[in-house]
Structure 1
Amino acid sequence: MRYLAPSLAVLALSLAAASTARAEEGMWTFDNFPIARANATLGTSIDQAWLDRVRLSSVKFGGCSAGIVSAEGLVMTNNHCVSSCVANLSTQAINYAETGFTPRSREEELKCPGGSAEILTDIADVTDRMHRAGEGLSGQAFTQARDAEAGRIESEACGGDAGKRCQVVSLYRGGQFKLYTYKKYTDVRLAFAPEDRAATFGGDLDNFSFPRFAIDAAFIRLYEGGQPAVTPTHFTWNANQPVEGTPVFVSGSPGSTQRLLTQDQLMTIRDVVLPMDQLLASELRGRMIRFSEESEENAFIAMDPISSVENTYKRGRGRMAALVDPAFMAGRAEAEVDFRQRVAADAALAARVGDPWGDLAAVQPVMRELYPAVALLEGGTGVGTTSPGGGSQLFSWARTLVRGAQERDKPSDERLPEYADSRLASVQSGLFAERPVYPSLEQVRMEWWLSKTREWLTVDDPRVRGLLGDESPEQLSARLIEGTSLADPAVRRALWAGGMAAIEASDDPLIRYLLSIQDETRAVRSDWETRVESLTARASEQLAAARFAAYGDAVYPDATGTLRLTYGRIEGTDVPGQRWGAFTTFNGLWDRATGAAPFDVAPKLLAARDRIDGETVLNMAVSSDTIGGSSGSPVVNAAGEIVGANFDSTVLSQRNAYGYDRNVNRSVIVTTGAVTTALRDVYGMGRLVAELGVD
């Protein structure tokens, strides 16, 4: 499907991440939201008090977003955002993905293992402190000094308060640093989830597309001190039929965008990062599908992981399509030319910032060389999806235990940043979570990772020899997974509490293995930080200074997994390959259903057909600026009422990672009307309907 783009001049303006944002473009921070521009564009009259209410009603839930919808801690998000919780609470005998999770009382709401939720309560500027910390330093010393200062700031702000989390956030790729303070909830319970087939109707075929016909919504509840949290600030539920053209706002925590990258940096993503990630994801998907077909038990185990890897692969496909689209990339190039010309026209500015474009260009050959090794052996690059261990939970726990023991023997400001005192509570929460582990799938992941690492780095790479020794990927993965006892939370707690002495004394094969590969993996990380990360951070900071000087505060930062607000209107689209209206209905669902997967309607939903008004709007399209991580984001009207939750976007919208194009960008929303219908008429959740204030 080839999209015929608008003129390059218009596209350059719409992609102007380096210039003034226009129309609905921008994932804005709450302390720099363009209130006047939004009101002028939409005809609304929101103010700072409105923004504050929306911020305090918005929730970050794992890698997703959510919104508080009652005074008693009830929160709406997407069903796919609670899929891991559902899987962890399910068994083959009682599979909530098949039946739905419909507790009849609050006492039956079940805790999500390892689940946590956060509400952003404060934003403070710490740019000067962070910039001073790196003055006069280079290489890994620069990176370590910045990380240490961030840890000190976080500790000063949050101390040992288990109910808070503090995070120093880099914005504008080092141009600004903000301290975000969150109210944290570690007791998060599942309050409702529909049947999986109701939430994922159409499966991978319909994913990243519109029209959609999915009830991708679920509810969690925040608990504090064993009781439902008191949340007086929350969204008011509005279940009325939506109206096309209505202005709406989307409040969520989008994961990551690369709009402020230079063209040279994007070429590295296009030529190295995305192709590698896509090839690896494609093979992992194939291995998981084969595994799932071997037995009913395997199909149960692999259901959620397969959905996750399919989503990752399809998102990458959409992003690659943007980076090979000549018109799209020409628009970005034109915006960069405009930026550089503005800087060159100001001699003092040009002298002050130097040539950050050239500095970043010089880093790219090194990044291209180092990326495969750092992605496979260490992760944490911020530009790709590949990670060490292949997603094995047991490997991740072993790595945390070994690294944590090694790092905790050092002063906090000399540690790897993820193990600073200010972040240990989050590390422990993930490490101690009581969640089921399936050794058969763990072995598939480990075997795949070991074989792919050997393939990409080659047999003769000394790091590969250290990784495998004399064993094959199949032999090594089987030995490690079959022999480890880390699935037992008590074992993990004891090893963590015992520190380095317990780790060194352990005979657990996975612990011994992680100990044995620390020299190689740490060296890969050190090389990356010295030759790529620190140089990129320095040049990006200079680029940000130039951008602020050229365009002022009308510039928005790249998404960083922190709370943002974007806006748009309820509307369809009328471009070649994407012509559809703003709404789908339950009648459309019945028409699309064939009875064969993935177009088979969930049994409880199908049984309720006669009780459902077929004209009820099920899903709608909105022209808001969103990206991965925005899933579950509350969609709010100008009155501050919640009218839906973002759960998808179109394939062409995946170019949103690199630039906003209003002609094709559409977010896909499940409406509150559809959710109300499901709760009341399908799943018998009248108590939640009453809590939402629906008559």
Structure 2
Amino acid sequence: RSDVVTLYQGGAYHLYRYKRYDDVRLVFAPEQQIAFYGGDPDNFEYPRYDLDVCIFRVYENGEPAKIDNFLKFNANGPSDGELTFVSGSPGKTDRQLTLDELPDTRDRYLPYVLRMFNRREVLETAYSARSFENARKAREDLFGTQNNRKRYDGYLAGLLDPEIWSQLKAREQKLRDSIARDAKFKSAISAYDRVKRAQAEIAKNAPVYNYLEQERPVTIGYRGPRALSGDLFKYARLLTRAIDERAKPNGERLPQFRDSARESLELELFSTEPIYDDYEILRLTDSLTDFASQFGANDPMVQKVLAGKSPHARAVELVSGTKLKDVAVRKDLYGKDAAALQAAHDPMLDLARLTEGPARDARKIHDAQEEIKKQAYAEIAKARFAIEGTGTFPDATFTLRLSYGTVRGYEQDGKQIPAFTDFAGLYQRSAEHNNKPPFDLPQRWIDKKANLNLSTHFDFVSDADIIGGNSGSPVVNKDNEFVGIIFDGNIQSLVLDCIFTDKQARAVSVDSAAIIEALRKVYDAGALADELEGARK
């Protein structure tokens, strides 16, 4: 596969070519307890003690693939102060954002999403605590909710840091001064004002957009409205829009409903994942309650959505009355037209149709202002690229990037945080918490403790420039040897979305020494360890 990727908002274009392996087999995976040791309390924190690795083997024509070029495995890991390199696919950064947009992110958007995720976490935690079965149903959602809550909290903390803010101001002022000195960049000066005006319109439109269209903006894939949580409304909206969009020329459709996205759409729409009525009712009740609380019980749209009932009674009516739990029903309706959807008299489909007008209107406003910003940022980026060239990294695009960083600790709250943790620290952390979740160890780790060299490094940090999407990135030394694998960043790294800082921001990796030590002495996988180390010969 070949993809052309836009960098520097149009300043450069790179061709990426990919080789696809479609026969990938799992060789080794540790228990979740040790892969995500410490759970939510330790997530985005450091020190860490996670063996967050999996080992796969790729096959071609039914045989293990023969790879000529590969990273040799160094079982000793890196040393403190060593220069390392990272090869990965960072997802998305917004380092081009102006000081006319970032304050809205800091003062409106991040507090909004944090309120949403805090509320959702309380709901899912309470539901999970009622029974083991409830905990199983909500496990994946709760993990995602906690991860997002912590991620956005860290980003907000960074934007509220005066030192970070002064760096952002200095960065923008330097560029503005350079633009002002060159007449050919005149249009870029007015671009800042266009961003400011467009962002003000987005903020004004945000309540309706967030509650009826998308709780957070996303171009491809489904992210539901804040007012209407749950899988059943998702299916209703996807069906409604798929049929409406199908009648349009392909290029005029919403991105999610174009021919190129059909496979992904149908995979989501025809999912056989189980739906639990009690959990659907819980989530929908909460989102309807939040909707009524934010807009007021007398708001016309709130009254139409609730249809004269309480949020809970309305949620029960919708969930118990819909037929969309049945995949066959969804497939049948997907092949029909809008008239057939209306004739179905399904309460969830009727609700999707009821909210479709204002939701689309809000999206139209949002998308129009985003396009204004996109064009304005392109002008600023063109000027920046002409002035700075490739001296600064382009924003992340979920494509392969090389980064680098030094293995080193940092200071936090007056204490020096060392670069490495070790096996001894893992057992000490477990003992401090009486081996209770999420600090409990798998039984085999308890049984095999005496076999281990407890001074072996476990995890380490470096000041490499990473962002979400870098998990799974190999860490490589100057000899082109694998010395670790990234699985997280610390809480201070979350501001890297908008600016790079190496004062405290750190990438967190599993040490290659820990992988070998665990394979040999905990999992009795000496043959696999031999194979990994044998690649060095």
TM-score by length of 2: 0.88
Match of 1:439 among 257, 277, 289: 277
Q: What residue number does 1:372 align with?
A: 207
Residue 100 of structure 2 aligns to a residue whose secondary structure is: helix
Task: Name the CA distance, whole Å, in 1 between partners of 2:230 and 2:14.
Answer: 33
> Is 543-552 or 279-288 further displaced after alignment?
543-552
Match of 1:583 among 420, 442, 448: 420
Match of 1:533 among 354, 357, 370: 370
Kept in 1, the 8 Å contact 2:50–2:459? The answer is: yes
Task: Name the CA distance, whole Å, in 2 between partners of 1:180 and 1:625.
Answer: 21
Kept in 2, the 8 Å contact 1:388–1:449? The answer is: no
Task: Name the CA distance, whole Å, in 1 between partners of 2:483 and 2:111.
Answer: 38
Q: What residue number does 1:302 align with?
A: 138
Kept in 2, the 8 Å contact 1:213–1:584? The answer is: yes
* Per-residue deviation, residues 221-254 of structure 1 (Å, max 9, x unmatched): 66789x5784735544333333223322222232
Q: What is the letter of the counterpart of residue 391 of structure 2? A: A
* Per-residue deviation, residues 498-523 of structure 1 (Å, max 9, x unmatched): 46565445454433332332212111
Kept in 2, the 8 Å contact 1:648–1:669? The answer is: yes
Task: Name the CA distance, whole Å, in 2 between partners of 1:677 and 1:440.
Answer: 45
* Per-residue deviation, residues 646-668 of structure 1 (Å, max 9, x unmatched): 11211122121221111111111
Q: What is the letter of the counterpart of residue 668 of structure 1? A: V
Match of 2:481 among 638, 641, 648: 641
Alignment of structure 1 residues 11-26 onto 2, 5 Å:
none
Task: Please tell me whether residue 261 in structure 1 is matched to residue 97 in structure 2.
Answer: yes
Q: Offset of 1:341 from its aligned partner?
A: 0.6
* Per-residue deviation, residues 432-477 of structure 1 (Å, max 9, x unmatched): 4443433333332222222222222333444333433323321232
Q: What residue number does 1:140 align with?
A: none
Task: Name the CA distance, whole Å, in 2 between partners of 1:457 and 1:618.
Answer: 50
Task: Please tell me whether residue 324 in structure 1 is matched to residue 156 in structure 2.
Answer: no
Task: Name the CA distance, whole Å, in 2 between partners of 1:433 and 1:689.
Answer: 38
CA 1:458 to 1:433, structure 2 compared with 1: closer, same or farther past 3 Å?
same
Q: What residue number does 2:394 align with?
A: 557
Q: What residue number does 2:191 align with?
A: 356
Kept in 2, the 8 Å contact 1:175–1:545? The answer is: yes
* Per-residue deviation, residues 30-52 of structure 1 (Å, max 9, x unmatched): xxxxxxxxxxxxxxxxxxxxxxx
Task: Name the CA distance, whole Å, in 1 between partners of 2:169 and 2:130.
Answer: 49
Task: Please tell me whether residue 454 in structure 1 is matched to residue 289 in structure 2.
Answer: no
CA 1:265 to 1:387, structure 2 compared with 1: closer, same or farther past 3 Å?
farther
Task: Name the CA distance, whole Å, in 2 between partners of 1:485 and 1:606.
Answer: 49
Q: Offset of 1:181 from its aligned partner?
A: 5.9
Q: What residue number does 1:247 align with?
A: 83
Alignment of structure 1 residues 117-196 onto 2, 5 Å:
122-124=2-4, 171-173=7-9, 191-196=27-32
CA 1:178 to 1:498, structure 2 compared with 1: closer, same or farther past 3 Å?
farther
Match of 1:621 among 461, 470, 479: 461
Kept in 2, the 8 Å contact 1:375–1:386? The answer is: no
Kept in 1, the 8 Å contact 2:423–2:458? The answer is: yes
Q: What is the letter of the counterpart of residue 373 of structure 1? A: V
Q: What residue number does 1:592 align with?
A: 429
Residue 527 of structure 1 aligns to a residue whose secondary structure is: helix
Q: What residue number does 2:148 align with?
A: 312
Kept in 2, the 8 Å contact 1:270–1:320? The answer is: yes
Q: What is the letter of the counterpart of residue 615 of structure 1? A: S
Q: What residue number does 1:335 align with?
A: 171
Alignment of structure 1 residues 21-32 onto 2, 5 Å:
none
Residue 441 of structure 1 aligns to a residue whose secondary structure is: helix
Task: Name the CA distance, whole Å, in 2 between partners of 1:467 and 1:179.
Answer: 48
Task: Name the CA distance, whole Å, in 2 between partners of 1:609 and 1:438.
Answer: 41
CA 1:247 to 1:172, structure 2 compared with 1: closer, same or farther past 3 Å?
same
Q: What residue number does 2:445 align with?
A: 605
CA 1:388 to 1:235, structure 2 compared with 1: closer, same or farther past 3 Å?
farther
Task: Name the CA distance, whole Å, in 2 between partners of 1:190 and 1:500.
Answer: 44
Task: Name the CA distance, whole Å, in 2 between partners of 1:491 and 1:683.
Answer: 47
Q: What is the letter of the counterpart of residue 567 of structure 1? A: Y
Kept in 1, the 8 Å contact 2:180–2:189? The answer is: no
> Is 302-311 or 374-383 further displaced after alignment?
374-383
* Per-residue deviation, residues 105-142 of structure 1 (Å, max 9, x unmatched): xxxxxxxxxxxxxxxx5443xxxxxxxxxxxxxxxxxx
CA 1:679 to 1:434, structure 2 compared with 1: closer, same or farther past 3 Å?
farther
Kept in 2, the 8 Å contact 1:241–1:616? The answer is: no
Q: Offset of 1:172 from its aligned partner?
A: 3.5
Task: Name the CA distance, whole Å, in 2 between partners of 1:673 and 1:646.
Answer: 14
Task: Name the CA distance, whole Å, in 1 between partners of 2:420 and 2:367.
Answer: 48
CA 1:458 to 1:228, structure 2 compared with 1: closer, same or farther past 3 Å?
farther
CA 1:184 to 1:444, structure 2 compared with 1: closer, same or farther past 3 Å?
farther
Q: What residue number does 2:310 align with?
A: 472
Q: What residue number does 2:319 align with?
A: 481
Q: What is the letter of the counterpart of residue 249 of structure 2? A: P
Q: Offset of 1:284 from its aligned partner?
A: 0.5
Match of 1:544 among 381, 385, 407: 381
Kept in 1, the 8 Å contact 2:516–2:529? The answer is: yes
Aligned residues: 527
Q: What residue number does 1:416 align with?
A: 254
Task: Name the CA distance, whole Å, in 1 between partners of 2:162 and 2:194.
Answer: 25
Q: What residue number does 1:100 align with?
A: none
* Per-residue deviation, residues 555-596 of structure 1 (Å, max 9, x unmatched): 322224333321112221246546222211111111121223
> Is 653-662 or 577-586 further displaced after alignment?
577-586
Q: What residue number does 1:48 align with?
A: none
Task: Name the CA distance, whole Å, in 1 between partners of 2:262 and 2:66.
Answer: 27
Match of 2:470 among 625, 630, 636: 630
Kept in 2, the 8 Å contact 1:582–1:621? The answer is: yes
Q: What residue number does 2:351 align with?
A: 513
> Is 433-442 or 617-626 further displaced after alignment?
433-442
Kept in 2, the 8 Å contact 1:277–1:386? The answer is: no
Match of 2:511 among 658, 667, 671: 671
Q: What is the letter of the counterpart of residue 398 of structure 1? A: A
Task: Name the CA distance, whole Å, in 2 between partners of 1:473 and 1:222.
Answer: 50
CA 1:401 to 1:608, structure 2 compared with 1: closer, same or farther past 3 Å?
farther
* Per-residue deviation, residues 166-194 of structure 1 (Å, max 9, x unmatched): xxx55445656667665566776655432
Q: Offset of 1:634 from its aligned partner?
A: 2.3
Q: Offset of 1:263 from its aligned partner?
A: 0.7
Unmatched tracts of structure 1, length 5 or more: 1-120, 125-168
> Is 306-315 or 512-521 further displaced after alignment?
512-521
Q: What residue number does 2:183 align with?
A: 347
Task: Name the CA distance, whole Å, in 2 between partners of 1:254 and 1:275.
Answer: 25
Kept in 2, the 8 Å contact 1:247–1:637? The answer is: yes
Q: What is the letter of the counterpart of residue 396 of structure 1? A: K
Q: Offset of 1:344 from its aligned partner?
A: 0.6
TM-score by length of 1: 0.69
